[in-house]
Structure 1
Amino acid sequence: MTEHATATQAAEPADRTEDLLVTQEGGVATLTLNRERSRNAINIGMYRALPDLLRTLDADPDVKVVIIRGAGDKSFASGADIKEFEQERSDATKAKNYNEKVAAAEHAIEEMSKPTIAMIHGFCIGGGAGLALSCDIRFADTNAKFAITPAKLGLVYSLESTKRVVDLAGPSRAKWILMSGLQIQAQRALELGLFDELLAPEELETYTYEFAATVASRAQFSVRAGKVMVGKVTTGQVADDQATLDLRNSSFDTVDFAEGVRSFMEKRPPVFTWTGADG
């Protein structure tokens, strides 16, 4: 893949980091947590840089799907960088500021209009799990290990982060995960709904990128609207309102709807062109 951008454009020098890399091939962008020597532990600079970087990807009409992964094949992310905690979380005021940066990074992933896929090799622990759970889909290898560890550090998981666990695993299993802080093996994480697919380590990358390319080839208005609809369901909406009716009905005015019908009638693959750039 060709290098597309790096996370070195944040507003302040303190927010700059070489620890986030973005590459792009076709409509698929890859955001890599680039600290392989520390098992891709997430430092405060990475948390600070993620929102602007993700907003840039979301605004790029050439990007249709974003894959988030860790450098190498041993770890997605081993957690937040605990070596920073004595400095960055040494009192309630500093901890509040740190927690806000973490929440902003997770929100930026969750609130992207485009699909996000976490590709999980190996360790997906603590803050790494937080980022992965913020993605729309999680594919993992059979060596993956998942854990959410506040109970091992004397911390409290946020309500929004807790909801993501409950949405996937259910309330009692979420309690088991949060109360124990135990590492969950890949097969069990799949059974709990924390992972969506489980692949051999040598197959994970190919499968993930082929799936991303498939999604990128679909009608993007439909893809993004589907994400909106699922989001509304998970926040408790159970019936259409005017916004969801308008969203559904507006699809009939897109160039992709016309192309989808035309290609079906002509018995050929569709060529979808809607990117959202024109509103």
Structure 2
Amino acid sequence: MIRCDKDGDIWTVTIDRPDKAGALTKAMLAELADIAEAAQAAKLFILTGTGGVFSAGADLDAARAGLATDPVWERLSAGIAALPGLSIAALNGTVAGGAFGMVLACDLRIAVPKAKFFYPVMKLGFLPQPSDPPRLVALVGPARAKLILMAGQKVEAARALEWGLLDEIVEAEALIKAAHALGTDVLVAEPGHIAGIKRLTT
């Protein structure tokens, strides 16, 4: 359900569970975290999915069993945020719930036009993972973060781009190609130079 394809300095990690809208189990999250922590040599790290939804967040059965508040979510987002290379969330569809964390931890976010973004923690009675609200506020500001986290708003791709939650909207067939294009300069740079610029912009 998790694929990791390595092509030289490019690591492409895919959530491949389209029959369950990319819903995440603890084992899937642990595998994603393992991959992120192992990807220190990747100059370009791309996170994507299959089907019409990137991820609906926690698998419902797993969430009821305690996954919604499990520290594995923070481990995953911390692993992605700590990568010295350029990380890009190439979103093939909607992002919901806890799946927001790994997306917010990426350096850049691109998405297909039909993608939507929502994080229904107020309705579900859970707190978001600790690092998610500050990252969301840094991108969209406090009021818009409250629209998502407190007012339960579903944000469509065009508005997400306007707000700064997205960096580009790309047609589905060009999504991975667009992610590669954004990494062009990174792929020909020295690792230390990449990491140095990332430190200055984080």
Same fold (TM over 0.5): yes
Task: Judge conservation of contact 1:28–1:213 (CA < 8 Å) in 2.
Answer: no
* 1:137-148 mapped onto 2 (5 Å cutoff): 137-148=108-119
Which of these residues, 66, 91, 98, is aligned with residue 88 of structure 1? Answer: 66
Q: Amino acid of the residue matched to residue 80 of structure 1?
A: A
| 1: CA distance, partners of 2:157 / 2:98 | 18
In structure 2, C-alpha distance between the alignment counterparts of 1:51 and 1:122, rounded to whole Å = 21
Query: What is the aligned-residue RMSD (CA, Å)?
Result: 1.7
1:190-220 superposed Cα distances (whole Å, 9 cap, x missing partner) = 1111111111222222211222244212333
SS in 1 for 2:14: strand
| Contact 2:23-2:59 within 8 A present in 1 as well | yes
Question: Conserved in 2, the CA contact under 8 Å of 1:75 and 1:123?
Answer: yes
Contact kept, 8 Å, 2:80 with 2:87, in 1: the verdict is yes
Length-normalised TM-score, structure 2: 0.92
| 1:2-36 per-position Cα deviation (integer Å, ceiling 9, x unaligned) | xxxxxxxxxxxxxxxxx221002232110111211
Question: Within 2, Cα distance between the matches of 1:207 and 1:88?
Answer: 37
Tell whether the 8 Å contact from 1:142 to 1:200 is kept in structure 2 after alignment: yes
Stretch moving more, 219-228 or 138-147? 219-228
Choose which of 13, 18, 22 in structure 2 pairs with 1:31: 13
| Deviations 1:84-135, CA, capped at 9 Å, x for gaps | 122235xxxxx65x1x111111111111122211000111111222211111
1:122 aligns with 2:93: yes
Does the 8 A contact of 1:144 with 1:186 survive in 2?
Answer: yes
TM-score, normalization by structure 1: 0.68
Q: Is the 8 A contact 2:91 2:111 kept in 1?
A: yes
Tell me if structure 1 keeps the 8 A contact 2:73–2:129.
no
Partner of 1:262: none
Contact 1:113 1:224 in 2 (8 A): yes
Which letter does structure 2 place at the counterpart of 1:50? L
Identity fraction in percent = 30
Q: Deviations over 1:228-274 (max 9, x none)?
A: 1222xxxxxxxxxxxxxxxxxxxxxxxxxxxxxxxxxxxxxxxxxxx
From 84, 88, 98, the counterpart of 1:113: 84
* Equivalent position of 1:50 in the other structure: 32
**Separation in 2, partners of 1:189, 1:135:** 15
Is 1:168 matched up with 2:134? Answer: no
Runs of 4+ residues deviating >4 angstroms: none
Query: 3-state SS of the aligned residue for 1:159?
Result: coil
Deviation string 1:45-96 (CA, Å, 9 cap, x unpaired) is 12222232222221x4xx3111000123x1211211122122235xxxxx65
Counterpart check, 1:226 vs 2:190: no
Deviations 1:148-197 (A, max 9, x none): 11012111113321000000001111111111222111000111111111
In 2, Cα distance between equivalents of 1:181 and 1:131: 19
Could you say which residue in structure 2 is the equivalent of 1:4?
A: none
Assess if the C-alpha contact under 8 Å between 1:143 and 1:201 holds in 2. no
Q: 1:213, 1:82 → 2: CA distance? A: 39
| 48-57 or 145-154, which deviates more | 48-57
Shift of 1:40: 0.9
Larger radius of gyration: 1
- Number of paired residues? 202
Matches within 5 A, 1:178-257: 178-231=149-202
- Give the letter aligned to residue 82 of structure 2: E
Which 5+ residue runs of structure 1 have no aligned equivalent?
A: 1-18, 90-94, 232-279
**1:104 has 2:75 as partner:** yes
